[in-house]
Every structure is written in C-alpha cells, then in structure tokens.
Amino acid sequence: MRLLITRPRLESDVLARRLTDLGHDVLVEPMLSIKNAQNVKINSANPQAIIITSINGARAFSIHAQAGQFKDTPVYAVGAATADALGNFNVVHKGSDGVEALRNSICAELKPEGGPVLYIRGAHVAGDLACDLAASGFKVDQVVIYEAVETLAFSQPVVNGFENNLIDAVLLFSPRTAATFSKLAINAGLIKKLDGVTFYCLSKNVSDNIQLGVKQGRWQIVIAAKPTTVDLINAVGKQ
C-alpha cells in the first residue's frame, strides 16, 4: 500500500522504516514542524510530579537547562515512546491509553495537598488536562516548552501523488494534524482526488477533525483499537 505519513519529521522517519519493513511504499509529509521554545524558565517550586503528554514535550524537557533539578521528581507520561524520550528520569507512569487515562491515574495516585504538579506541554494541546486537574483540586504549573507550527502547503510530490491516484492511505496522529491536512487539501483543490483514500486515525477525536468541506466522501476512516502507534500500525497491516 502507498502511505502518506503526516507526523513531525523525527517520528515520521522512524514510522516510515517500520512500515517499509512491512512492505509498504511510504511518503513523508509532516503537517507540523516542532520548534522548541527559547529561554523558557521553569518556576515550579518542588512539584510532586511532572506531567508530559507528548514525545515532543519529552524531548524538549530532557534537554532543558533546568531538567537536572527534576531528575528525582516522579513523571507521568503518556505512552512508552514519550517515556523513552525522557531518558534517565523517574518515570512512574507510562500508560498508552490517552490523556484521560493519565488524568485518572494522577487523581488516583496523587493528592492535591501534596503540592503542585508541573505540566510540560506544547503551545497547542488536545483536551484540557490542566483544567480537569484543577477541577479536582490540584495546583497545575504549566510550562509551554515547544510549539508545533503548521505546514502552509502540500509539497509538489504530495500534490502529484493525489492527482495521479498514487496515495492509498493517510496516517493521522492528532486532531490538529487532521485539521491541517484538511485545510491543505481544500486549498490545493484535491477533495475529489481523495475518493478511495483511507484515513488511518489514532483516535476518534482525530477522525472528527477530518473536515474536508463536504459530507462524507468515498473515503474510508479506520480508527486504531487503542491510541498507540503500534495499534495504528496493526490497523494498517502488512502489504
């Protein structure tokens, strides 16, 4: 199958190798590029735990000038890949069932009176974990450590791929990625060329953000059994 991967570059390159090994032809076109924030200070005093909900947040935090002072602070991470990107931190939770499950674990295992929690995040996040935790009584110190910048237009190889029916499926991993893809497809006049394309989505929240300006076309949406890369790869299957 001929696949278009839309994740940021580093994640796309890793995923492309895995899918190529399964026999697929792969084209990489990141919908978002990651820019680490410069000179951001972390002012949270003695947090009882650190929360990280993306691999990009983990990477940015692991190289932050102040990271060393939090080496012994328990970290709640979404997924093994995010945890692995942290390196030598005290990761106590690396569940892969999404942000809601992460919130539930925090509320079950921590107490608001134990001190603030430090939420390392991007400029744009799906959902509102900080508000949910605040509603449960936690003080949440938020630090925006990176920004995901939207791509402005499809590259010519991607335009050619859709125009010539050379792309069978698109892999989408976040609501913002799905929304960005939709916008670029509309701007490029490619909506009719998406007939027959399958969208493999990490979650229903991702698929809900495929907004192509028309009612459901003759494309197919497949949602991963769980919001993990492994489950999405399993949904794609072998060639």
> Which residue is associated with the tokens 């949406």?
221
Q: What is the pLDDT of residue 219?
A: 86
Predicted local distance difference test score (pLDDT) of residue 124: 84
- Domain segments of the chain as ranges: 2-31+151-236, 34-149
Give the DSSP letter string of 172-200.
E-SHHHHHHHHHHHHHTT-GGGGTT-EEE
Q: Which among 146, 144, 147 has a CA at the least distance from the CA of 42?
A: 144
> What fold, for 2-31+151-236?
Rossmann fold (3.40.50)
pLDDT of residue 39: 86
Assess whether the region 2-31+151-236 and the region 34-149 belong to the same CATH fold: yes
Structural domain 34-149, CATH architecture: 3-Layer(aba) Sandwich (3.40)
The model's pTM is 0.81
Backbone angles phi, psi at 76, to 5 degrees: -105, 115
Query: Over the stretch 126-183, which tens digit does the pLDDT of each residue have?
Result: 668 899 999 999 999 999 999 999 999 999 999 999 999 999 999 999 999 999 999 9
Residue 50: which residues within 8 A CB-CB, separation 6 or more? 61, 70, 73, 74, 75, 76, 89, 117, 118, 119, 120
From 114, 108, 127, select the one nearest 53 (Cα to Cα).
127
Q: What is the structure's pLDDT at 127?
A: 67
Measuring CA to CA, how many Å separate 24 from each of 10, 27, 164, 239? 19, 10, 18, 6
Q: Give the total residue count for the chain.
A: 239
Q: Which parts of the chain register pLDDT below 50?
A: none
